[in-house]
């Protein structure tokens, strides 16, 4: 298989978006799968999650199929990469609560390396990195945010706003039984 055919195969497996495609990717491309495999078995705080980081990521990816429009490759890759940083940032406090301080930025850095190895284009890398670095910003939306905070988010997101909202919605629905409607809340602002 030529290098180009190999990369095409890797992307095809990644964008299949079921656990078998992801498992096949990890088997066929172990050098590229380090960040994916690192998520397996990384437990999370049971107050927010019932799955390990890997299972949560698979759930986020599967939630994309529920969107009204097919997810873009940028959204699919951001869903896969958004928690890459959790294994490196996991801490447990004195009360036994698990935290992942700064995982967003570490996830963005690891996503960059992952996408460089897949030879993705610069624009796609930048978009996925922004989504990884900012997914908690939208997840943490609260109705007490003022109009300026919402406008700042909208401005910062630019053309990625809908993609960011879709990622946040899939992420929230993958770890809370009842998640706030982030899209509705921002639309009301």
What string of pLDDT tens digits covers the 189 residues of the chain? 666 676 677 777 777 656 677 888 888 888 888 999 999 999 998 777 888 999 999 889 888 888 878 888 899 999 999 999 999 999 999 999 999 999 999 999 999 999 998 888 899 999 999 999 999 998 888 889 899 999 999 999 999 999 999 999 999 888 754 444 444 544 443
Res 186: pLDDT: 44
Backbone angles phi, psi at 45, to 5 degrees: -65, 125
pLDDT score at 7: 66
Instruction: Give residue 4's pLDDT.
Output: 61
Q: What is the pLDDT of residue 17?
A: 59
The pLDDT of residue 3: 64
Confidence (pLDDT) at 126: 97
User: Tokens in use for 169?
Assistant: 């919605």
**Phi and psi, residue 92, nearest 5°:** -125, 125
Give the pLDDT of residue 177: 47
Q: At what angle do helices 53-63 and 19-28 cross, to 10 degrees?
A: 120
pLDDT number for residue 179: 42
- Residue 183: the pLDDT is 47
Quote the pLDDT of residue 189: 39
Name which of 159, 167, 138, 158 is nearest 59 in CA terms: 167
Per residue in 50-86, is it b (16+ CB within 10 Å) or e — as a string? eebbbbbbbbbbbbbeeeeeebeebbbbbbbbbbbbb
pLDDT at residue 18, rounded to an integer? 63
């Amino acid at each position: 298989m030529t290098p180009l055919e190999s990369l095409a195969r890797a992307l095809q497996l990644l964008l299949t978006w079921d656990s078998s495609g992801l498992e096949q990717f990890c088997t066929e491309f172990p050098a590229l799968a380090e960040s994916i495999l690192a998520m397996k078995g990384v437990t999370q705080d049971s107050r927010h999650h019932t799955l390990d980081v890997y299972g949560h990521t698979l759930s986020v990816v599967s939630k994309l199929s529920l969107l009204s429009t097919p997810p873009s490759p940028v959204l699919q890759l951001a869903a896969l990469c958004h928690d890459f940083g959790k294994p490196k940032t996991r801490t447990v406090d004195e009360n036994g609560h698990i935290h992942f301080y700064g995982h967003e930025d570490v996830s963005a850095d690891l996503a960059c390396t992952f996408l460089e190895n897949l030879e993705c284009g610069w624009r796609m890398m930048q978009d996925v990195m922004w989504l990884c670095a900012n997914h908690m910003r939208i997840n943490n939306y609260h109705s007490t945010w003022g109009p300026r905070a919402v406008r700042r988010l909208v401005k910062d997101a630019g053309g990625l706003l809908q993609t960011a909202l879709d990622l946040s919605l899939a992420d929230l629905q993958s770890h809370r039984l009842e998640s706030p409607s982030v899209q509705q809340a921002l639309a009301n602002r």
